[in-house]
Amino acid sequence: MPQEPGSPRDIPQSRWIRGAAGTSFGSRKYKLWVPGACDPRTPSALIVMLHGCTQRAEDLAAISGMNTLAEREKFLVVYPEQPRRANLLKCWNWFDPKHQSRDAGEPAILARIVAQVQSSHNIDAARVYVVGISAGGAMAVILGATYPNLFAAIGVSSGVEFKAATSRSTAWAVMRHGGPPPNQQGLLAFQAMSTGLREKRRTRMPVIAFQGTNDHRVSMVNTHQLIAQWAKTNECLDERHRESNGLIEQSIQGAVSGGYNFTKHAYKEDGRLLMEKWIVQGLGHAWSGSPVASRYGDPKGPSASEEMWRFFCETTLLWTAQ
């Protein structure tokens, strides 16, 4: 007997799709989460999630809870995976100059993954975002600078500024003590954006960053530098800078019930949100607001996933309506 329209069998099921994409610099596997609630006839947002060292796609999905959020908000999530052959600890090679430029190394491979997902699914090109934790956060920053034509905003957890290190040894020093002067790195990021900006004009790159005060892997100074670096980069992007009143910082204190206190620093230009920095008291080297407690996820902090999605939605509307 034929199934009645609207019956359970007709309702699309959420699913993982495995894939791989590559360039002359190599290839990477990825896992794409497609919520059943997404209507393929309607363009969906896409979030690229970059895991930290030793992690897999499923690990980041579990600690972030991003797939659950994607179900509710109807967007797709792609999780590229770093193999051990590329890095013994499965870290993205953010510290290696071979992987810090457009059309080279891992940035080129990750950009190809985005292109492949766009070719097979109905993705809204104006709502593609990149998010990462730790080494993944550092690579997210590189992608935002090298491919501003692809990404509308950046989300970072325990990350560093653009080109903070240029070798494995300097990477360890940066993680403990911070990187070069943010204004200097901000100029480098602006220069790196030049090719992508010729493909798609952009007047700002919104950035949201989370950092724990008890993070003994990546020092808090790095998140301060990260925001300062992007403040300089965004200043350089501003063709109307002389008419702007500059960035205004607003700090808001908050607390999670039964969890950690935090301070949200919001940076606005002419009343429009551009960047946010969340400092979470007591949080270690972990995803803030994780659904479950684990080595790299802590439920006691504010939800980084929820706040990043809220930030992406708000800033995309603000900075695309030029």
pLDDT of residue 4: 41
- Which structural domain range is residue 250 located in? 10-320
Look at residue 277 and tell me whether its pLDDT is greater than 90. Answer: yes
Number of domains in the chain: 1
Q: And the tokens for 268?
A: 């606005």
Is position 4 within any domain?
Answer: no
Is position 90 within any domain?
Answer: yes
Q: How confident is residue 241, by pLDDT bands cut at 50, 70 and 90? A: low
Give me the phi and psi of 27, to 5 degrees please: -135, 160
Q: What is this structure's pTM?
A: 0.94
pLDDT of residue 118: 97
Residue 2 burial (C-beta neighbours within 10 Å; 0-12, 13-18, 19+): exposed
CATH number of the domain at 95, please.
3.40.50.1820
Look at residue 1 and tell me whether its pLDDT is greater than 70. Answer: no
Give the number of residues written for the chain: 322
Look at residue 109 and tell me whether its pLDDT is greater than 60. Answer: yes
Is position 253 within any domain?
Answer: yes
DSSP letters, 223-283, are: HHHHHHHHHHHHHHH-TTGGGS--EEEEEEEEE-TTS-EEEEEEEEETTEEEEEEEEETT-
Is position 5 within any domain?
Answer: no
Is position 1 within any domain?
Answer: no
246-261 confidence digits (pLDDT tens)? 899 999 999 999 999 9
Q: And the tokens for 223?
A: 């998140």
Is position 3 within any domain?
Answer: no
Is position 60 within any domain?
Answer: yes
Is position 38 within any domain?
Answer: yes
